[in-house]
Chains A and B, each alone.
Chain A
């Protein structure tokens, strides 16, 4: 069974940092690109970042460029999102999702940026 489980969310002050993790199982993670997608409270879906299966191709939304860093460790079946210089508008549920099709999603982890 394919499973993605996010962790690392929480309450952080503006300007602070958080590192999100996504543990995957039930498939060979090294064969798939991975993504982070977020959803602000009561709002729609926003793609944040993607990373290719071998980490050679990385992309970011403009809202994440220069502040967020996506990475993965295929040996640990894990995906990460390092978020720095957090802003109020980064408050959202962050989901990891498999492949460009976004065919499997985790349950999400809530990031709240507030003083």
Chain B
């Protein structure tokens, strides 16, 4: 199984800050990497697919990059509604696997 190592597991930041989350795959997953946002009591929401493609309707302050084994997710300027938990997810090989999540909290 492909292990997804996501870091940090938690992050405290202020509105307007730039934040970055990384995800490392245990083997090459090409660009089959998603980033999701999840708020308490809600289903995950797809933000980035194919490592760097912004899902329709998602604000441009969200971005993703990387390929192979190393991936980065960035929020360029945090907004109040961005405080949530973020997950990376590989869909190159079954079993599909997720990172352990990054909880983004208000500083």
Stretch at the interface among A10-18, A19-27, A40-48: A40-48
Summarize A's interface: helix, strand, loop or mixed: loop
Is B59 an interface residue when CB atoms closer than 8 A count as contact? no
- Chain B nearest Cβ from A109, distance in angstroms: 11
The segment from B12-20, B21-29, B65-73, B90-98 found at the interface with A is: B90-98
Residues of A close to B45: CB separation below 8 A:
105
Number of A interface residues, CB 8 Å? 20
Judge if B62 is at the interface, Cβ distance under 8 Å. no
Interface of B (DSSP majority class): loop
Instruction: Give A101 to B44 CA distance when docked, in angstroms.
Output: 12
Bound complex: CA A106 to CA B43 (Å): 7
B34 sits at the interface (CB 8 A): yes
A45 in contact with B55 (CB, 8 Å): no
Q: Return the contact of B55 from the options A59, A103, A105, A107 (Cβ within 8 A).
A: A103
A79 to B101: give the CA distance in the assembly, Å.
27
Query: Across the interface, do A102 and B34 meet the contact criterion of CB distance under 8 Å?
Result: yes
Selected from A45, A100, A104, A108, the residue in CB contact (under 8 A) with B91 is A100
Q: B83 near A: Cβ within 8 Å? A: no
Residues on A facing B (Cβ under 8 Å): 35, 44-47, 50, 59-62, 95, 100-108
**Would you list 21 pairs from A and B whose C-beta atoms are within 8 A, ordered by A residue?**
A44-B87, A44-B99, A44-B101, A45-B36, A45-B87, A47-B94, A47-B97, A50-B94, A62-B95, A95-B43, A100-B91, A100-B96, A101-B46, A101-B50, A102-B36, A102-B46, A103-B46, A104-B46, A105-B45, A107-B43, A108-B43
